[in-house]
Amino acid sequence: MINAVIIDDEKLNISNLSGLLAKHCPQVTITGTALNADTGIALINSVKPDLVFLDIMMPGKSGFDLLRSINAPEFEVIFVTAFDQYGIQAIKFSAVDYLLKPLIIEDLIAAVNKVEKKLSNKAGNLQLQNLLSMLHGNQHKSEHRLALTTAGETRFVNTEDIIRCESSNSYTTFFLNNSQKIMVSKPIFEYEELLADYGFKRCHQSHLVNKKYIKSLIKTEGCVLLMQDGSKIPVSRLKKDLITAWLGL
C-alpha cells in the first residue's frame, strides 16, 4: 500500500481526488489532508507519507514553499494544479509528475503507477532532489540538470553538456559533449521551451542547438551550422534570419 496525504486549499478538490483514488487507485491509502502549507508541513512530519499530492497555488505559502521547508524529503510528490504555467517549467525540467485540474483519470492512474514502481524499487527521488536544488536557487544556471527519462532509467544531464537535440517523429535524441546519445520519447518542441533560457535555439523543424557548441555558420551549403563535434545542422529558410541575428551576424 502507498500511504498518501493530500494538501490543497479547496476542500472540494480534496474530496474529488480522494474519491478518484478510492475508485481507481486502491493501492493508495489517504492518511491525512491539509488545507494550507503550514498544516501540510506538520502533517508530513507526523504521518511520514510515501506520497504527497500537492497543490502549487495556495494562499500564503505555495506548494513550492512547503517543499523548501522540509529538509531532505523522503516521499514522492505528484503536483496537482489548475495553472499550467506556474512553476511547470521547473517541474518538467526535473521530470516530476504533475496533474492539471480538472483531473484526467488515465493521467492520475499513470502517475500513481509510476510512484508505486519507484517505491517498490526503493529508488531515491532524484527528480525531487533536482527540483529542490532549482527552487532553492543554490545552483548556477550552468549547473542545472535536465532529467531525461528513457525506457530503462532517468538520466540527469547538465544543460551545458548538451551539444544539440534532433527529433524523429515523437522521439528526441540528445547529443552530448562526451559523444554519448540519449533518446527519449518526447517531441522536440517540449525541450525547445525548457531550454530556451539555456542558450538553445530551434534552427530547423528537427533540430535544436546549443549556441556554446556552434563553430561556424556555413552559407555556401544552403545555410548550415557547423558544430564543434563536426556535425552539420541545417538552418531552415524560415529560421535563417532568426539564427543569423541570434549569432550576431
Cell 504555467 -> residue: 85
Which of 44-48, 212-216, 217-221 is least confident? 217-221
Query: Angle CA(127)–CA(5)–CA(108) in degrees, nearest 5?
Result: 65
Mean pLDDT within 108-116: 93
Query: Angle CA(78)–CA(79)–CA(85) in degrees, nearest 5?
Result: 145
Q: Of all helices (H) and strands (E), which one includes residue 145?
A: strand 145-149
56-90 pLDDT, tens digit per residue, is 999 999 999 999 998 888 899 999 988 767 678 88
180-199 pLDDT, tens digit per residue, is 999 999 999 999 989 999 99
Average pLDDT value for the chain:
91
CA distances from 80 to 62, 173, 185 (A): 12, 29, 23
Confidence band for 123, pLDDT divided at 50, 70 and 90: low
Give the pairing of strands 28-34 and 145-149: unpaired
Reported pTM: 0.71
Confidence at residue 165, expressed as pLDDT on a 0 to 100 scale: 98
